């Protein structure tokens, strides 16, 4: 996850530049662990989460630390909601 300035004037908004197949353990690859038919893969194929950059642009300043990319935050929130729905239905 590299930080680049996509929208010029928003210097502190992080940018997601690609998928991160290896996260905490170098021997574990998420692309291999998540089945091809998994709901999260279907969501990833159908939704372009980059729309959120334009929606939150005004909330970011020009000084301070670079943020977690807004699409990552949105995806984490979606995971939380889906997890709660699935747990409630069990």
pLDDT 10s digits, 15-51: 766 655 555 667 777 778 888 998 889 998 999 999 9
Residue 56 contacts residue 5 (beta carbons within 8 Å): no
Strand partners, 6: none
pTM of the model: 0.66
CA atoms within 13 A of residue 60's CA, in its CB half-sphere? 24
Q: Cα Rg for the chain, rounded, in angstroms?
A: 15
pLDDT at 47: 94
Q: Domain limits of the chain?
A: 1-90
Residue 64 contacts residue 12 (beta carbons within 8 Å): yes
pLDDT average, residue stretch 43-65: 87
């Amino acid at each position: 996850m590299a930080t680049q300035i996509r929208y010029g004037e928003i210097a502190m908004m992080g940018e997601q530049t690609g998928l991160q197949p290896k996260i905490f353990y170098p021997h574990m690859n998420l692309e291999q662990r998540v089945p091809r038919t998994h709901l999260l893969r279907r969501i990833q194929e159908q939704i372009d989460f980059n729309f959120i950059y334009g929606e939150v642009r005004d909330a970011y300043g020009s000084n301070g630390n670079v943020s977690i990319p807004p699409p990552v935050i949105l995806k984490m929130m979606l995971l939380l909601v889906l997890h709660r729905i699935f747990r409630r239905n069990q």
